[in-house]
């Protein structure tokens, strides 16, 4: 199962896993987008699920759908999340709670239900964090805080799995800047496109003297590694796939 599968990193992960022979459940609040990605992947290899990651009843319903086709999950990639930027003093409590609900509560539910589904048979969970959760982003305290929490969630979950004898690994991949629709939809990015003449030039301007923006497919390769038997000894770890941004 891939959450946030309708676009960006989630969609790239879904397509890459289908290429590796997996049957993928493409889950997203954007049901139409999830269906498009699942259709692109092939109806024999993927199916779409509408999922609000903050709603516990949605998780139970999604897993009921999974169990109608497969006995249990073997992999869960939690890529669903939202971005927001406002100075701390201008961030309302409602905005703070909304960002943490999607980015941290959603990850908690993904981890909880993922482990419960894999506990008897084993599996791997990968949470998509952010380099902004390692190196704080100015003007994005809520976002940085929500992503920083994923590292501790993964470590705590991985330790509980080891203690309880569950053959489940839990890790985090934290990208830097990635070329996704989230960035492209931002008004200031459209201003940069107008100023510099193309999306690629706008991404280069955003990167400045730092690492270049990654393609979602590059992050999907790191996720694929963590899901694979090659990472059988890797758990409770946060991998910064950020071109050195946090250094």
For the annotated catalytic residues, the residue numbers are: 143
Token pair of 62, please? 């999604």
Residue 58: how many CA atoms within 13 Å on its side-chain side? 15
User: CA torsion sign, 45 to 27 to 111 to 113?
Assistant: negative
* Interatomic CA distance for residues 143 and 136, integer angstroms: 9
* Interatomic CA distance for residues 127 and 76, integer angstroms: 8
> How wide is the angle at C-alpha 88 spanned by C-alphas 85 and 94, nearest 5°?
75
DSSP 21: T
HEC-encoded secondary structure of 116-182: HHHCCCCEEEEEECCHHHCCCCCCEHHHHHHHHHHHHHHHHHHHHHHHHCCCEEEEEEEECCECCHH
CB 36 within 8 A of CB 28: no
DSSP code string of 171-217: EEEEESSB--HHHHTSHHHHHHHHHHSSHHHHHHHHHTTSPPPBPHH
Region of 175 on the Ramachandran plot (φ > 0 left; ψ -120 to 50 alpha; else beta): beta
């Amino acid at each position: 199962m891939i959450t946030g599968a309708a676009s960006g990193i989630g969609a790239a992960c879904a397509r890459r896993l289908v290429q590796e022979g997996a049957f993928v459940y493409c889950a997203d609040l954007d049901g139409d987008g999830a269906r498009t990605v699942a259709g692109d992947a092939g109806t024999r290899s993927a199916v779409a699920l509408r999922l609000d990651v903050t709603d516990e009843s949605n998780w139970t319903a999604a897993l009921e759908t999974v169990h109608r086709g497969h006995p249990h999950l073997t992999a869960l990639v939690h890529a669903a999340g939202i971005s927001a930027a406002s100075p701390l003093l201008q961030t309302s409590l409602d905005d703070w709670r909304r960002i943490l609900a999607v980015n941290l509560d959603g990850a908690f539910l993904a981890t909880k239900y993922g482990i419960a589904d894999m506990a008897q048979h084993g599996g791997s969970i990968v949470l998509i964090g952010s380099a902004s959760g390692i190196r704080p982003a100015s003007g994005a305290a809520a976002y940085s805080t929500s992503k920083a929490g994923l590292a501790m969630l993964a470590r705590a979950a991985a330790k509980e799995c080891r203690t309880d004898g569950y053959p489940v690994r839990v890790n985090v991949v934290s990208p830097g800047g990635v070329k996704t629709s989230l960035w492209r939809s931002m008004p200031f990015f459209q201003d940069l496109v107008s100023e510099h003449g193309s999306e690629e030039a706008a991404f280069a301007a955003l990167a400045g003297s730092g690492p270049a923006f990654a393609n979602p497919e590059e992050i999907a390769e790191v996720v694929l590694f963590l899901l694979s038997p090659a990472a059988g000894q890797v758990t409770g770890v946060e991998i910064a796939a950020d071109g050195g941004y946090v250094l």
